[in-house]
Amino acid sequence: MTAHRPELSIVSPVHNEGASLPAFVAAVDAALADLHLDYEVVLVDDGSRDDSWDRIRKAAAEDPRIRGLSLSRNFGKEAAMRAGLETACGQAVVMIDADLQHPPDVIPAMIAAWRDGAQVVEAVKSNRPGQSFASRSASRLFNWGFSRLTSVELSDATDFRLLTRPAVDALLSMPERSSFFRGTSTWIGFQRARVAFEVAPRGVGRTRWSLRSLTRMAIDAITAFTPAPLRLVTAAGIIFAVFAVVLGVQTIWRWAAGDAIQGFTTVILILLVQGTFVLVGLGIIGEYLSRVHDEVKGRPRFIIDRRTDEPS
């Protein structure tokens, strides 16, 4: 942490975004040029394998408002965002991706909402260019499911948002190591505002999010944020138990009446349903045990290897 307290901090996690970093830094500077406020840019290199760190160091050498962190390996976007939040010193902090799909020219509107009294300003998508129907449907299904399970509204939500210092401090006070920024920054409450933006086409490179990584992120987000799936397993177990009792009574009745069902079709179907339920239930329980295991180990969320404001 530095003694300097700027009015605004821009925090951006970076993973293999070296090619887009100069344009991103220039776009942030252009977006804030007319506001005449004191700001800093915190770039967090999350174990990039390209020249991202070299470009961050160069940018920091050319502009004292830019600070860089390099994590010792790829800890994931959530950890990189946490590292940026812990480092940012501003009275308000804007979290934004460095690939320019979160347009920096939306930041002035977020600052205006902040100055009007909002303590959390969410940038929400008004469009999804270049996203396939399947990907768009999966995203909406996740947001809908998460909102129903947790009562935290995530429709068209993104990680692109502004948080005031009290909101940042509330977020950083949470001790859990497995976190979901989009969810927890909504859960903390505070006076809120929304700003719509159009997702810009990715200028350089290609997305690193595969179906597998998106599925893993969805599972991590839900299990890190809510125990609702465990309750669903319990509810399903109760429903299945009621069904089993009804079917058992029917079977005994028909046997006593001398009209027992011949064959194994019903038995096989029951075994398939029961086996599927048991395996899915064990999988859900295993995910939560994994979360408990991670919390009990108490390992740090991330390890900082280098900083631009310290000697190499």
| % of the chain with per-residue pLDDT over 70 | 68
Instruction: Please give the pLDDT value at position 1.
Output: 45
- φ/ψ of 239, rounded to 5, equals -60, -45
Among candidates 76, 71, 67, 169, which has minimal Cα distance to 120? 169
Reported as type and span, the H/E element at residue 161 is strand 161-164
**Residue 36: domain span:** 8-207+299-307
| Average pLDDT for the chain | 77
Say whether both 288 and 303 belong to one domain.
Answer: no
List Cβ neighbours of 8 (8 Å cut-off, separation of 6 or more): 32, 37, 38, 39, 40, 90, 91, 92, 93, 94, 111
Please state the domain count of the chain: 2
**pLDDT tens track for 147-176:** 666 666 666 678 888 999 999 988 888 877
**Residue 33 DSSP code:** G
| % of the chain with per-residue pLDDT over 90 | 9
pTM for this prediction: 0.69
Domain of residue 303, CATH code? 3.90.550.10
Residue 258 lies in a domain: yes
The position carrying tokens 């909406």 is 140
**pLDDT tens track for 17-31:** 888 888 888 988 888
Residue 213 lies in a domain: no
Residue scoring higher pLDDT (283 or 65): 65
What distance in Å separates the CA atoms of residue 125 and residue 21, rounded to the nearest whole number? Answer: 22
**Residue 306: how many other CB atoms lie within 10 Å:** 16
Instruction: Please give the pLDDT value at position 258.
Output: 65
Say whether both 55 and 125 belong to one domain.
Answer: yes
Say whether both 285 and 152 belong to one domain.
Answer: no
Residue scoring higher pLDDT (309 or 218): 309
CA atoms within 13 A on the CB side of 232: 17
**pLDDT tens track for 189-206:** 888 888 888 776 665 555
Instruction: Check: CB of residue 78 under 8 Å from CB of residue 13.
Output: no
Instruction: Please give the pLDDT value at position 300.
Output: 77
Reported as type and span, the H/E element at residue 44 is strand 39-45
Say whether both 62 and 180 belong to one domain.
Answer: yes
